[in-house]
Structure 1
Amino acid sequence: MSLLSGSGAARPGGGPAPFDSGLSALFARLGAVLVETPLLQRAEPYLDTAGEDLRRRIFLTRGEGGETLCLRPDFTIPVCLAHIEGAAGLPRRYAYNGPVFRQRRDEAAEFRQAGIENLGETDRAAADARALAEALAALRACGFEAPVEVVVGDQALFEAFLTALDLPAGWQRRLVRCFGRDDLLRGALAALSREATSDPLDLDPTVRALVRDGAVAPLSDHVRTMMEEGGLPPNRGRSPDEIAERLIEKMALASTRLRSAYLDRLGAFLALDCPLAEAPARLEALEASSGVEFGAALALLRARNAALLASGVDLAPFRYRAAFGRPIDYYTGLVFEIGAATGEPLVAGGRYDRLVSYLGAPEPIPAVGFSLWLDRIAAALEPKP
């Protein structure tokens, strides 16, 4: 049966859930197809793409065939899989409204999310602006009229900055994985700022010498010999080549120290926190002072701001924070959260251009979307004593 079956209207007990009528009307007006996806999902796509923060919160189980399954922790991945299965044309817009299951501190593990996923729109600036505008409209459709704050970050700008610093590829990957996780990012920057005071890896002297030489082939041969002497089967775990490549990368990471001038530039970028309307000029000034070029990522930010203004969105509540990210690994560009002045975000989303092809689409599909936490919105609307 197609994953796109159903209307999404069924509710436990047969009654409508809060905000259903307003959101259904909005989705219809925006031309988003309302879809259902199974509550029980294959866990592998989440384990591979969603990041550690989400992985440790999902509820796992085993299928009859031994496959790892999970209760649906979000809708983005199931909607993308449904699109691939249905082989629908592009661009295509999907809406959803239903329960998800995720461990949360001081909040219920079962809660409702609604949102829109926009697949295949090639004008990324216009699609990003549309996602932000529709996220605000969805809040209003739920009856939330209070002032909000919109925090915007950009994974692509961060990656462009790292590329310009000419860090080793392993360090770039590590810092990208830390983006949006302030504690991890601080730890990684601290490691980059200090000299190694001792051998960073506790290795056999022969292995250490081969690792320092950086040649994969002789190190792989040595690892293969050690595995054979230890009686380890060749098809168990990582191959000798993979072990050799990983050891060389770990040595490069542990031995790298970022020059203080570069570290200062990275710190200046991550400290940038300003009204979104001012962000292009502030980033241009950083380019001029640091010699770093943001290229297409900065051009996209300018175009996105212009598209927001052209659609009538007031930029006054929007802030750009260079260090802001969301702890989900599949984001590639825009990331954002919308909330009241205090408390958890009510809406969040971003761009994930690599996810759909990773999940099995025959070619890359640009994609952006957002989700509303309906339980938080309902709590925010409750009368305060």
Structure 2
Amino acid sequence: METDTLSFAAIIAEWGKPADFARALGHDDGGDLARKWRRRDSIPQEWWPEVIDAARRDGKPVDAERLLRAQRNAVSRKAGADGGAASGQPVIDSPDPERPASGYDARSLDALENQARSVKAVFAQAGFVPVEPPTMQPADIFLNRSGEDIRQRTYVFEDPGGEEWCLRPDLTIPTCRMYLERDPSATTQARLCYNGPAYRYQPPGAGKPTEFLQAGVEHIGGSSTPEADAAIVTIAVEAVQSAGLTSFDITLGDLGLFSALVDKLDLPPSWRARLKRHIWRPAYFDEMLSQLTDAGQGGARSAAPATNATDTTNQALLAALDVMEPDRARDVVQDVLALAGISAVGGRTVAEISERFLEQAADAARAVLPRETADAIRAFLAISAPCTTAVDQLASVASRAGVSLDDELDAITRRVDLICAQGVPRNTITFDADFGRKEEYYTGFVFELRVEALGASRQVAGGGRYDGLLKSLGSPRNVAAVGCAIRTERLLAAVGLERQP
């Protein structure tokens, strides 16, 4: 090892707060310890084993070699080394790079513009046409179609005329809206690309930017095949390589695979819908599985007795909803909410509130999830392995659950083979059954390109398939669509790290 320090800034990004990191090491005086290490910007060598152990225990992607490299880069910059400047790269102040609060200087802007030219040349070569969707978008478009995480971080405001708008938190939905404005019937095929800013609120102290740059492509109206999926990954790989990035890992997932598993399990239709609906909310999903499984202990749950008139009314409503067809029950709840003047509660939309009512109705009807089924779901989602072994593990779990996913797993194998045929090393690809984008509009294949040296900002590019999004935006039918976006500021930082001595 070339130095005897680990960068405090490099490692603290994994835990978020100095005190949280110190507590992970089991120290009551976390604040004092963190402040001492922050002043030195290093962690004493005798603490290294505990640091690595805490990282493994907490699931943090921390390793000594990466942190030492980051520390060497920081020391080099402080000493006035010109490793990054010589190549035209902007100064990188931490391995968790984001847009500086003060904005970019001329050198950084030049570097970003040069990189953008390289990336856009790859897009053009693949036949994608540039577009620039409006920065301001109707708020309901995102509030009803994005994941919970995105909804909570979307800037929403009201114009003088009383209309609600938002700053685009990504460019996929705005690009799809542009497509539908040009072709409302969604009968044509389009290859569209973009390069511009997006906006997301960040809590104070999060250390994340509220404004960031995305360059990406959207292939709308093509075919929903492994070949089309692999082609998008290939474009992302070629784009980051054109910018000078040589080392990265790829994580693949498939949200459709989980849906296929649930559809083939011996479950009532309402339970299948509920499981698929909440796969986007991991904490709630796990809690739901536990509650439903525990409910099976000793048979069905006993309904709680009503204690007052309100409880009696609620139980009557839930019982009535449970015997209705799902669509009819959903309409009834939404009508009740509309009559009460309720449009949102706690950041949840009317549609989400309606779904929660239907879930409570199912609970009131003493629905029980078998423990064997819950265990199979957990085992399935826990699989994260190199692509060379992941398919066999997935097939084994499905077989033990009494179902076959042969066709779906063949599609995954086909995607991997096609990606590797473009020169991507197979040992850099991981399949993660629990991996899914935070945007709820993704319906199947998803992927990310990751550079671990960037810490919490390791995702440099990502995307996937969203065959249901266009219909939700007004298309008369589902439209095959797949795309990807590159976080160009992170890409620039990753290339800069690689060029450091």
Q: Scaled by the length of structure 2, what TM-score is found?
A: 0.64
Amino acid at match of 1:84: L
Is 1:261 the counterpart of 2:372 in the alignment? yes
Helix, strand or coil for the counterpart of 1:360? coil
Larger helix fraction of residues: 2
Is 1:204 the counterpart of 2:311 in the alignment? yes
Match of 2:100 in 1: none
Counterpart pick for 2:201 among 103, 109, 132? 103
* Residues 251/360 of structure 1: CA separation in 2 closer, same or farther (3 Å cut): closer
Residue segments in structure 2 that go unaligned for 5+ positions in a row? 1-103, 296-300, 344-351
What is the aligned-residue identity percentage?
A: 34
Structure-to-structure mapping, 1:105-144, within 5 angstroms: 105-144=206-245
Counterpart pick for 2:256 among 156, 159, 173? 156
CA contact (8 A) 2:318 2:360 kept: no
Distance 1:187 1:244 in 2: 20
CA contact (8 A) 2:243 2:495 kept: no
Is 1:339 the counterpart of 2:440 in the alignment? no
1:161 CA displacement: 1.4
CA contact (8 A) 1:113 1:371 kept: yes
Residue segments in structure 1 that go unaligned for 5+ positions in a row? 1-10
CA contact (8 A) 1:277 1:305 kept: no
Is 1:284 the counterpart of 2:395 in the alignment? yes
Match of 2:285 in 1: 185
CA contact (8 A) 1:120 1:367 kept: yes
Distance 1:201 1:134 in 2: 59
Match of 1:356 in 2: 470
Match of 1:8 in 2: none
Match of 2:136 in 1: 40
Distance 2:338 2:158 in 1: 27
Amino acid at match of 2:304: D
1:261 CA displacement: 1.4
Match of 2:153 in 1: 57
CA contact (8 A) 2:395 2:406 kept: no
Is 1:31 the counterpart of 2:141 in the alignment? no
* Residues 379/248 of structure 1: CA separation in 2 closer, same or farther (3 Å cut): closer
* Residues 371/207 of structure 1: CA separation in 2 closer, same or farther (3 Å cut): closer
CA contact (8 A) 1:35 1:96 kept: yes
Match of 1:5 in 2: none
Q: Scaled by the length of structure 1, what TM-score is found?
A: 0.82
Describe the superposition over 1:257-291 as per-residue Cα deviations: whole angstroms up to 9, x where unpaired: 32121122112211212112333333333333221
CA contact (8 A) 1:335 1:350 kept: yes
Helix, strand or coil for the counterpart of 1:19? helix
Helix, strand or coil for the counterpart of 1:328? coil
Distance 1:320 1:365 in 2: 26
Match of 1:374 in 2: 488
Helix, strand or coil for the counterpart of 2:426? coil
Distance 2:338 2:172 in 1: 39
1:61 CA displacement: 1.5
Amino acid at match of 1:251: A
Match of 2:416 in 1: 305
Deviates more, 1:320-329 or 1:59-68: 59-68
Match of 1:6 in 2: none
Structure of greater Rg: 2
CA contact (8 A) 2:261 2:398 kept: no
RMSD (Å), alpha carbons: 3.4
